[in-house]
A = this chain, B = another copy of it.
């Protein structure tokens, strides 16, 4: 059975607040066509790929934000993506805002088989930002207002991607900074993490030390460490550029199980990057340094699940 996969990450340039889904979907279909011409078997699109990053905009009443959410997939607006998948025989990963029939709201991603069937759905667990309007911030980051915490855990499924069977998992944006998310996927033998993000070029809570130039470094550092420590590939895919005056830093990457960057987007626009992934590379880490069964010591990890926040340590009392 094949253990090779041609993986494409499809960075999207900015989507302005006033633009309809048809604009974004048209651009995405063109990227799928490019991916097909490059021989890719799967395309990974960013978080909230159909609209602008709307959690920067405050609505007093949640219902006023309803137009940012999808209530069905496919819909009239998103059908062209499913048609392109069939036409090009290419799977795709899509991030979008989900509103359920019960009115629940999630920051969601799906992996869609070329047949159009949803293989895996994930709802974002680590929501950054805040729930109420914050007058001290020049830009709001209202993910905790617009979304519930994901209720699906971090699922992994073994499914066909191109000609290979691949253990697929997902993260969304801020999840990538949390080693817990990577490890829960690693404990399910994930081989490919699909990860979309919308990350501003400035820390909007900037209270001092975090410089502009560290933002991309932190994103890459987290993805590279996650891949190395869990012996998996990842496609970290950005929405990039200037959305109504708000800059997103782009720098989408594909990373291998050694933590090396195999491909990187260097524009702030729509850009496809492709890497030829040998899934057999996941084995070295799993069999040696990161043989979890041989080396993990769960009896020393109790705090990780036993407490949410940090606790101050005891003070040393000298005997002398």
Chain A positions near chain B (C-beta within 8 angstroms)? 113, 115, 117, 119-120, 125-128, 149-150, 153-160, 165, 167, 174, 177-184, 186-190, 203, 205, 207-210, 214, 217-218, 221-222, 224-225, 228-229, 257-260, 281, 283-284, 286-290, 292-293, 295-298, 300-316, 318-320
Copies in the complex: 2
Instruction: Select the residue from A154, A258, A281 with max chain B CB neighbours within 10 A.
Output: A258
> What residue of chain B has the Cβ atom nearest to residue A296's Cβ?
B308
Which 7 pairs between the two chains have the least Cβ-Cβ distance?
A293-B309, A179-B179, A225-B225, A159-B316, A156-B313, A205-B288, A187-B303
Measured CA separation A173–B117 after assembly (Å): 46
Q: Which residues on the B side are within 8 Å of A225 (C-beta)? A: 179, 221-222, 224-225
Q: Tell me if A177 and B289 are in contact (CB < 8 A).
A: yes
- Cβ-defined contact, B217 with A222, below 8 A: no
Q: Which of B150, B189, B228, B286 contacts A313 (CB 8 A)?
A: B189
CB distance from A131 to the nearest CB of B (A): 10
Q: What are 28 A-to-B residue pairs whose CB atoms are below 8 Å?
A: A113-B318, A126-B297, A127-B295, A150-B300, A154-B300, A155-B313, A156-B313, A159-B315, A178-B229, A179-B183, A183-B301, A183-B303, A184-B304, A187-B304, A187-B309, A187-B310, A188-B303, A190-B313, A203-B289, A207-B284, A208-B284, A210-B258, A214-B258, A218-B259, A221-B259, A222-B229, A225-B225, A296-B308
